[in-house]
């Protein structure tokens, strides 16, 4: 299927046409995520991009195809930020897209020309490993965090969730890219059909083995919790009144924990005795403790924290957690002295929030000491945070979120879907409570529990949440899939270096 330059399509001969094709090919995998949720597309969505990069006439062009494809991917999975960041989202997409330039070089080196069976087999390991390095680097919180990891597109597929319990979302990403690489080899070079088919069989057998033989959590009873979603209610005062009314409606229903969304209060009840008394009265009336979220200064001091605060029948219990990982530009501006101009072209944060110091596990007395691990909004995207809470003894993961700025976009549903992965990875049920939707609850295997509250709902929902015991392989062994990918790339680099030093020619390419 290789074509000489003279026979290539005009849009491949034109630098601008090829650039547009790379950006479009990079954006294609975004359709596998919610809201479209075409999860099956993920297993072939990278093929056009891989074929384009492997056909690059030079390594420089391959790096550019990787860069522009990466920019297209970032722009597609973050397109809902456009109303907030305006033109700055294009700048961010180009900056983060550069992370895929080395991946483009790797694809060109392994799949370009006429690879033999050895190079074809190596590509099945190294191309997914290179992709995972891109996901790992861009997952750094200061670069935007792990939003849109390819493995996260499989949140509703039980076999993929079982695989996540073994190696986290990283292992799912590796499998998806390996399948795409094998398909690209089959289309581009029928001569490497044997390793490509073998790669597909290994992926299928690995997923099947995880489904049938991976350990599963042990049931450990249930606890009744409730999520309060006030909806778009206008002012903070109106939101509080609606949240109180919905919480009062839960009286007599046996609820032990009521969860409100992120920024449900703009005053800290610890500093406002009148507000603390109102919330304590709600706790007494419902027989449940309340987990609220205050977007406010703490202890009367300067600076604003986003704090999860547990309220009991006597008021604040003293258990609180301040959000540690903040949203770049949404809650603070990195290098504000240089990038502060972003506030003039979009809705970037005018005031930087202050980071919390450490994660917290809270006992809920009303639920016989049930231990919950709070996360705030963006933090549900980070696998390490939920794993850390589980290791510290959390029995339930509780996320408080607010996506009211992005109503009508793909963001609320995509954010809610992350709860399924975190639950499957840790064997701990996950409660995802928002102000305006989407709110959802997931069991210890990542299965959805009860009804999902969409962005059109203002309601309180009650869930009988299944608890579980045991330690998942991912919690026990951590990011072994990432370390394996790093090891494979290091060994491949060492092999190439030894060949270069020994003076042996590289394998011939036809």
Return the SS3 of 253: coil
For residue 336, what pLDDT is reported? Answer: 63
**pLDDT value at residue 154:** 97
Q: Is 250 helix (H, G, I), strand (E, B) or coil?
A: coil
In this prediction the pTM is: 0.92
Question: Which spans in 452-479 are helix H?
Answer: 473-477
Question: 219 — phi, psi (to 5°)?
Answer: -60, 145
Q: What's the pLDDT at 1?
A: 43
Q: Which residue has the tokens 């049931």?
A: 219
312-336 pLDDT tens trace: 999 999 889 999 998 877 777 766 6
* 430-434 and 396-401 beta bridge pairing: parallel
- DSSP letter for each residue of 380-441: GG-HHHHHHHHHTT-SEEEEEE--GGGTTSSHHHHHHHHHHHHHHHHT--EEEEESSS-BEE
String of b and e for 66-92 (b: at least 16 CB within 10 Å)?
A: bbbbbbbbbbbbbbbbeebbeebbeeb
Q: CA-CA distances (angstroms) from residue 359 to 238, 379, 385, 470?
A: 31, 11, 8, 21
Report phi then psi at 218, rounded to 5.
-95, 130
The closest alpha carbon to 507, from 152, 120, 227, 243, belongs to 120
8 Å CB contact between 483 and 238: no
Cα 305 to Cα 287: distance, rounded to the nearest angstrom: 28
pLDDT tens, per residue, the chain with 510 residues: 444 444 556 556 677 889 999 999 999 999 999 989 999 999 999 999 999 999 999 999 999 999 999 999 999 999 988 887 778 889 889 999 999 999 999 999 999 988 788 888 999 999 999 999 999 999 998 888 899 999 999 999 999 999 999 999 999 999 999 999 999 999 988 777 888 899 999 999 989 988 889 999 999 999 999 999 999 887 889 999 999 999 999 999 999 999 999 999 989 998 899 999 999 999 999 999 999 999 888 776 677 889 999 999 999 998 899 999 988 777 777 666 556 656 666 666 667 788 888 999 999 998 898 999 999 998 999 999 999 999 999 999 999 998 888 888 899 999 999 999 999 999 999 999 999 989 999 999 999 999 999 999 999 999 999 999 999 999 999 999 999 999 999 999 998 888 888 866 555 444
* Structure confidence at residue 500 (pLDDT): 82
Report the 10 Å Cβ neighbour count for 358.
Answer: 8
> In terms of Cα–Cα distance, which of 378, 400, 402 is closest to 309?
400
* Contacts for 275 with CB less than 8 Å, ≥ 6 apart: 265, 267, 269
Instruction: Report the C-alpha gap between 380 and 401 in whole angstroms.
Output: 9
Residue 459: what are its φ and ψ, rounded to 5°?
-160, 165
Burial (0-12, 13-18, 19+ Cβ within 10 Å), 337:
exposed
Tell me how far apart the alpha carbons of residues 361 and 320 are, in angstroms, rounded to a whole number.
9
Q: Residues 200-228: pLDDT tens digits?
A: 999 999 899 888 899 999 999 999 999 99
Cross-sheet strand order for the sheet of 459-469: 315-322, 305-312, 289-296, 257-259, 218-229, 459-469
Distance of CA 223 to the CA centre of its chain: 27
Please check whether residue 345 is in contact with residue 88, taking contact to mean a CB–CB distance below 8 angstroms. yes
Report residue 321: phi and psi, to 5°.
-140, 130
Instruction: Give the H/E segment covering residue 59.
Output: helix 59-77
Do 365 and 316 contact (CB within 8 A), yes or no? no
pLDDT on residue 8: 57
437, 406 Cβ separation under 8 angstroms: no
Residue 94: phi and psi, rounded to 5, are: -70, -40
Q: Which among 362, 256, 262 is positioned nearest to 318, based on CA atoms? A: 362
Alpha-carbon Rg of the chain, whole angstroms? 24
Q: Is 489 exposed, middle or buried (0-12, 13-18, 19+ CB in 10 A)?
A: middle
Phi/psi for 503 (5° steps) reads: 80, 5
């Amino acid at each position: 299927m290789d074509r000489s330059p003279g026979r290539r399509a005009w849009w491949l001969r034109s630098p601008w046409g090829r650039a547009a094709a790379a950006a479009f090919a990079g954006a294609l995998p975004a359709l596998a995520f919610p809201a479209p949720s075409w999860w099956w597309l993920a297993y072939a969505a990278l093929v056009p991009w891989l074929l384009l990069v492997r056909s690059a006439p030079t390594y420089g062009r391959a790096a550019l195809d990787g860069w522009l494809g990466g920019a297209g991917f970032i722009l597609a999975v973050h397109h809902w930020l456009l109303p907030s960041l305006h033109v700055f989202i294009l700048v961010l997409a180009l900056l983060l897209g550069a992370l895929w330039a080395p991946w483009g070089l790797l694809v060109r080196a392994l799949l370009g020309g006429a690879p033999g069976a050895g190079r074809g087999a190596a590509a099945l390991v190294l191309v997914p490993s290179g992709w995972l390095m891109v996901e790992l680097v861009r997952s750094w919180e200061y670069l935007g965090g792990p939003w849109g990891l390819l493995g996260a597109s499989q949140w509703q597929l039980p076999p993929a969730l079982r695989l996540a319990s073994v190696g986290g979302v990283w292992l799912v990403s590796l499998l998806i890219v390996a399948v795409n690489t094998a398909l690209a080899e089959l289309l581009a070079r029928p001569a490497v059909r044997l390793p490509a088919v073998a790669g597909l069989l290994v992926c299928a057998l690995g997923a099947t083995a995880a489904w049938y033989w991976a350990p599963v959590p042990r049931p450990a009873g249930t606890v009744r919790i409730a999520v309060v979603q006030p909806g778009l209610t206008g002012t903070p005062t109106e939101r509080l009144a609606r949240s109180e009314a919905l919480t009062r409606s839960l009286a007599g229903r046996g609820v032990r924990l009521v969860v409100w969304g992120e920024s449900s209060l703009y005053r800290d009840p610890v500093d406002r005795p009148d507000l603390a008394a109102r919330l304590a009265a709600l706790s007494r009336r419902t027989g449940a403790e309340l987990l609220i979220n205050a977007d406010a200064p703490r202890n009367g001091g300067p600076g604003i924290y986003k704090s999860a605060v547990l309220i009991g029948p006597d008021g604040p219990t003293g258990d609180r957690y301040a959000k540690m990982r903040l949203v770049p530009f949404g809650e603070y501006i990195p290098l504000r002295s240089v990038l502060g101009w972003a506030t003039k072209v979009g809705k970037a944060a005018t005031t930087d929030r202050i980071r919390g110091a450490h994660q917290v596990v809270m006992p809920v007395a009303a639920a016989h000491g049930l231990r919950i691990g709070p996360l705030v909004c963006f933090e549900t995207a980070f696998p390490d945070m939920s794993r850390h809470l589980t290791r510290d003894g959390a029995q339930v993961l509780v996320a408080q979120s607010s996506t009211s700025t992005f109503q009508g976009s793909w963001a609320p549903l995509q954010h809610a879907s992350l709860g399924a992965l975190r639950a499957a990875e840790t064997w701990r049920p996950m409660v995802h409570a928002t102000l305006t939707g989407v709110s959802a609850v997931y069991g210890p295997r990542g299965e959805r529990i009860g009804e999902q509250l969409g962005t059109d709902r203002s309601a309180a929902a009650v869930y009988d949440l299944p608890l579980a015991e045991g330690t998942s392989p991912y919690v026990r062994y951590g990011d072994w899939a990432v370390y394996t990918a790093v090891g494979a790339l290091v060994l491949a680099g060492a092999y190439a270096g030894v060949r270069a030093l020994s003076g042996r020619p590289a394998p011939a390419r036809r």
